[in-house]
Structure 1
């Protein structure tokens, strides 16, 4: 076989669009691994990229989507970290192994500056790969690289999360639900905000202690303060950006941490400096995480047999429906595309 099916990101007038194409089957170099992709999952940034709202460079005709899992089917001559038949996922930055983020890592951003996983086969350097726990399916593992690692990193940003601390999550997307699951592993208390009673019920089912519906309670920060005895939460994972960041700050305790992980409502909404100064807040951004964080997260998930929350699974030919599902914002958990059985 010399050809495969792949989605390519192409220029359509002044916008970007996706095209389903035949593409040559890649062949591994010395340290490269060819993966038969079984499943891929979407993140908000994949939708934002098509709308021209994601502030990141992309290479021409790139295969999009960073998050996927599959089976090793061919190896370069010098590969030592994996073998044929191994079940693997790929880290979002292929050359970020450990340590703090370096801007040079952006040159190896899967689905943006290097080809991603919305294809039947994908080629990566062996250093980018992590082994999938035995209990986890390809569909579940495909949901992890961006959203789960971001949640793991955000909870441990600045200071690792401690038992008994309180975390505020926002919505029912992938990062928020992974943060809920991981916070419970750490023995933390989880509060949440969401847009509907249906979603609130799901969050409580998954372990959130209390949920505020921001559609019916727009001043939700007051409710969060009341739920914490007026003190505020230890950590907030801010998903929406512009429309939530000031309220997130108002919900955070003295010397608390706000981890900014998204921009779903826009890039504005700055926090007044007096709010940061008067309460000694730490506001930090997250940049997903290195492979070593991915591996540590997988070890914790395996120990507790944590299963990712999957919203819906689409067949490869239906990938545009998956994009539309995510853009509509009604998902609870991860939207996944089954590439091969």
Structure 2
């Protein structure tokens, strides 16, 4: 049996703010011929991020080119390689890199414009050709569903904790995470594995117990405790504050993060989930003597390092109990948009 020449693929055709109707499934999309440094993969599973929902609704602040195949996260099996490919082989399970050209830090303008599922065609298709540079071998301890979650959220958490090398997470340090999104859940797992103490916030008593199972020592309900920044700080040794804060809310929660940060601590701004007209000024970084750092996922080099940590610590990504079929991508989008999920929402592509 020969290699496939066409594939089914989802496509975002245009922006529509009130629905996902412009996300459409196309049949018999031609698969390009394999270049000498390219790899043909059969995509097994794709996991979703808030970004995937934001793009068709016109809410995404980074470069996009429509029409585009959505999705950045995936795991797949190598079916064929070009003659100059050396890093992966036929039969290997691989993960896709979020920004194809982000090989190592610092990130470049070229890399920022190479995001799968936004600037270039992504992963919600049955077969795809990628450059060898855009793929990383999956951890050997994870199955396809689990490995499909690594591209964005876990790698972002890893970059937040380890990307600023002079402030890389150390055993005994304190980490604050927010909510139960993918970045925060991975942040708890990585920090706990490193010997850090983790304080997490959530609005749900049920989810609080899940966060403790993942490795959080303390959980604060931010709906019951509006001044959660000071409440979290009070838990740290001598009330000195946190070495690392994973800031996923953005404008709406940064004020509380500043109340919780330690002198010389690092607030890593990851998300924009909590919009607000009122937000702290840049001068607050000076007033609190802290580093406020924006990041954009992570590099291939960091992905390789993270996968080693996943294998050596037997870390299992948190996957939502509802796995969606390839035909039900729009149902998966709506499920995540309605915030019915806990953990990563995954679309199973191949049987």
- The interval holding the TM-score normalised by the smaller chain is over 0.9
Q: How many residue pairs end up in the alignment?
A: 341
2 CA distance for matches of 1:163 and 1:87? 32
The aligned residue for residue 88 of structure 1 is 94
**Bigger shift: 252-261 or 269-278?**
269-278
1 CA distance for matches of 2:68 and 2:134? 18
Q: Does 1:61 align with 2:71?
A: no
Indicate if the aligned counterparts of 1:260 and 1:285 stay in contact, CA closer than 8 A.
Answer: yes
Q: Does 1:164 align with 2:186?
A: no
For normalisation by structure 2, the TM-score amounts to 0.93
The aligned residue for residue 340 of structure 1 is 350
Aligned match for 1:141, one of 147, 154, 179: 147
Indicate if the aligned counterparts of 1:241 and 1:268 stay in contact, CA closer than 8 A.
Answer: no
The aligned residue for residue 307 of structure 1 is 316
The aligned residue for residue 232 of structure 1 is 241
The aligned residue for residue 122 of structure 1 is 128
Change (3 A) 1:116 1:30: same
Computed over aligned residues only, the root mean square deviation of the Cα atoms, in angstroms, reads 1.6
Aligned match for 2:329, one of 319, 322, 334: 319
2 CA distance for matches of 1:116 and 1:269? 35
Aligned match for 1:293, one of 290, 302, 305: 302
Change (3 A) 1:58 1:273: closer
1 CA distance for matches of 2:278 and 2:303? 31
Structure 1 regions of 5+ residues with no counterpart?
Answer: none
2 CA distance for matches of 1:2 and 1:148? 33
Structure 2 regions of 5+ residues with no counterpart?
Answer: none
The aligned residue for residue 199 of structure 2 is 191
Q: Does 1:131 align with 2:141?
A: no
The aligned residue for residue 5 of structure 1 is 8
Aligned match for 1:260, one of 269, 272, 286: 269
**Bigger shift: 71-80 or 297-306?**
71-80
Change (3 A) 1:187 1:269: farther
The aligned residue for residue 218 of structure 2 is 210
The aligned residue for residue 24 of structure 2 is 19
User: Which string of whole-angstrom CA distances, capped at 9 and with x for unpartnered residues, describes residues 31-90 of structure 1?
Assistant: 111110000001111111122111122222210110001001122232222111111011
**Bigger shift: 166-175 or 99-108?**
99-108
Q: Does 1:151 align with 2:157?
A: yes
- SS of structure 2 residue aligned to 1:242: helix
Indicate if the aligned counterparts of 1:27 and 1:34 stay in contact, CA closer than 8 A.
Answer: no
2 CA distance for matches of 1:14 and 1:177? 29
Indicate if the aligned counterparts of 2:245 and 2:266 stay in contact, CA closer than 8 A.
Answer: yes
2 CA distance for matches of 1:237 and 1:113? 26
**Bigger shift: 40-49 or 22-31?**
22-31
1 CA distance for matches of 2:255 and 2:98? 29
Give how far 1:99 is off.
2.5
